[in-house]
Every structure is written in structure tokens, then in C-alpha cells.
């Protein structure tokens, strides 16, 4: 397989999430594990700059990532070169309260989508990221106690204050998305999807988003690395199918997976999770080609373990 990394020749295209939504890079750099990358602030800044050079200008955060520390690590790097803020889009999430020494008041891990918590989470994210605005805020997970009208009201106030420009959700069902979308225009639903988790193809998640013209964001597109490592016989078969296609196309294995995801008509924007710029480059390479329909279905068949009907 070709593993050549040539950032000068590749740029991630831009993609608008919805008719009224923001334009993000088609590949989004996920910051979930930034605390595990063991980088100095200067090294983090270099990584950010290398992402921007690849056209990857969108960075995905959440208040809870890194036990409430990831946003601060990114903000610390951004403060070394504050002019970069206007060249990027910052995404964050709120609504989960973790048990953490950093949050001694939390007695149990739970969800909180109250207006007060949404607002305080945004204020905290802005301080940590050392910015005056978020380009996009997502409710991290559906909350059994969520009040759609209260959430819509909080979104309205944050937008009027200029603290958040656009809003969406994460891990919502089609029905949950539509309930909130009727009250406030959402621009994305960030969901898990990969060849090892194809449920959104069949549970109306992707169909519903395509119907209302909203593009999903995709977390764990490589199944958290299980596509590369799992010894399960079904995963090994899937891996071999993808590898065969990658070899024929002379593309990296992971680029084929990203291309497979991005071929969906709902226009998904996958996240990366790596602190290696080479891995981000491989994701960007997935924007440079499309699969034949037969190759696309060969991956789906291997993913599901059976033919289509």
C-alpha cells in the first residue's frame, strides 16, 4: 500500500453542515486524546499548524475530554499564536458530568442539559480555549431529563450573546434530533459510525439527516483502532477486504475507510483521533478519491457478514 505523506499536494475540502450552518473542513481533527500525546505547548501548536496546512481547520472538543483538561491544553497552544483563531473552527460539547477530582461537587456521573449548565459549560470552554466564541456547540448525549424548549432557549441566548455561532447534538436518535430541530435550527448530529458500527445506515439516523439537509459528523470512523488490531474472525475478514481494495487503488488502508464513509449522500464529516500528523494526512487522502459501487458494497458486505437482500 502507498503510505507516502505529501501534505503539500493535499488539502481537505470545505463542507457546509447545513444551509444555515458553518463551513468546516471535511476532515475534523478530534482532540479527545490530546492529553495522551505527551506534547509540549509548542509541539501542540506545531500539530495545529500542520493540520491547518492540510486544510484541516476544524477542531473537535468537549468539556469533559482529558478529565476536563483537553480544552485547556489546546488553548495553551493557541495562546502562543492567537492569530490562528480566525483560521479555524472550534467545536465543543457539553451535557455530561463526570466523577472527577476536578469536579468535587459531582456525586454521580450523570447528564445535565439544563440551561444553567449549558451556559456555564460554554463559559468554561471559552476560558479554557482562550477564545471569545465557539463556532459550534453540541449537546454531547441525549438526556432523559432534557427539556427541548429549555435547550432551545439556552441556545438562543448564547447565540444572541455571540458566544456560540451554531448548535447541534451528538448521539441523538432521528426522533430526538427532530424534536429539538423543530424548536431551534441544528446543524449536525455527531454519531459513531465505522465499518464495525453501521447502525446509522439502518436506524434512520442518516436518512433523517439527509432528508432535512444536515450533515452528520462521525466519531470513531476507524472503530477506535479495532479495524487494525482485533483478532476476531469477522474483523479479520473485513480487514482483508479493505486491504485488497486499498492495494488495488494504491491507497492507504485508512484512506479507503474514510473514503467509504464520505461516499454516503448525507455528506458525513469524519473525525480523526491521532496526534500524528501522518494519520491526519491519511484521512485527508480519503477526500481525494471515491470507491466504485461494487467496492463500496464489498466493504458493507464484509462489515455485516452477509449479502444485501
The CA distance from 255 to 253, in Å, is: 5
Closest CA to 117 of 133, 136, 139: 139
**Separation in Å, CA 47 to CA 44, 76, 247:** 5, 13, 29
User: Which residue has cell 477506535?
Assistant: 224
* Angle (nearest 5°) at CA 91 between 86 and 96: 150
The residue length of the chain stands at 309
User: Which residue has cell 500500500?
Assistant: 1
The CA distance from 190 to 24, in Å, is: 13
Exactly one of 5, 47, 65, 253 is catalytic; name it.
65
65 counts as catalytic: yes
β 14-16/23-25 pair status? antiparallel
Return the C-alpha cell found at 133: 466564541
Decide if 285 contacts 3 (C-beta within 8 A). no
For the CA atoms of 285, 287, 292, 295, the dihedral, rounded to the nearest 10 degrees, stands at 60
DSSP track, 179-196: HHHTTS----EEEE-BTT
The CA distance from 292 to 304, in Å, is: 19
Closest CA to 27 of 239, 232, 270, 236: 270
Catalytic (active-site) positions: 65
Amino acid at each position: 500500500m502507498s503510505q507516502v505523506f505529501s501534505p503539500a499536494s493535499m488539502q481537505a475540502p470545505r463542507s457546509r453542515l447545513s444551509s444555515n450552518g458553518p463551513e468546516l473542513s471535511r476532515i475534523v481533527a478530534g482532540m479527545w486524546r490530546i492529553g495522551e500525546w505527551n506534547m509540549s505547548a509548542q509541539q501542540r501548536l506545531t500539530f495545529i499548524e500542520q493540520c491547518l496546512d492540510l486544510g484541516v481547520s476544524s477542531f473537535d472538543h468537549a468539556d469533559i475530554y482529558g478529565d476536563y483538561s483537553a480544552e485547556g491544553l489546546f488553548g495553551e497552544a493557541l495562546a502562543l499564536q492567537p492569530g490562528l483563531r480566525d483560521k479555524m473552527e472550534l467545536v465543543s460539547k457539553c451535557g455530561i458530568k463526570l466523577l472527577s477530582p476536578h469536579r468535587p461537587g459531582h456525586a454521580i456521573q450523570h447528564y445535565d442539559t439544563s440551561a444553567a449548565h449549558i451556559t456555564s459549560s460554554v463559559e468554561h470552554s471559552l476560558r479554557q480555549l482562550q477564545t471569545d466564541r465557539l463556532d459550534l456547540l453540541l449537546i454531547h448525549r441525549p438526556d432523559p431529563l432534557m427539556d427541548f424548549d429549555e435547550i432551545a432557549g439556552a441556545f438562543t441566548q448564547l447565540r444572541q450573546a455571540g458566544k456560540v455561532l451554531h448548535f447541534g447534538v451528538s448521539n441523538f436518535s432521528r426522533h430526538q434530533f427532530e424534536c429539538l430541530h423543530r424548536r431551534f435550527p441544528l446543524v449536525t448530529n455527531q454519531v459513531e459510525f465505522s465499518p464495525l458500527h453501521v447502525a446509522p445506515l439502518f436506524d434512520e439516523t442518516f436518512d433523517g439527516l439527509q432528508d432535512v439537509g444536515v450533515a452528520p459528523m462521525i466519531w470513531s470512523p476507524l472503530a477506535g483502532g479495532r479495524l487494525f488490531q482485533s483478532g476476531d474472525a469477522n474483523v479479520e475478514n473485513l480487514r482483508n477486504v479493505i486491504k485488497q481494495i486499498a492495494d488495488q487503488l494504491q491507497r492507504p488502508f485508512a484512506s479507503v475507510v474514510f473514503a467509504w464513509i464520505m461516499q454516503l449522500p448525507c455528506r458525513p464529516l469524519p473525525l480523526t483521533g491521532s496526534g500524528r500528523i501522518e494519520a491526519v494526512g491519511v484521512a485527508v487522502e480519503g477526500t481525494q478519491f471515491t470507491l466504485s459501487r461494487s467496492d463500496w458494497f464489498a466493504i458493507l458486505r464484509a462489515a455485516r457478514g452477509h449479502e444485501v437482500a
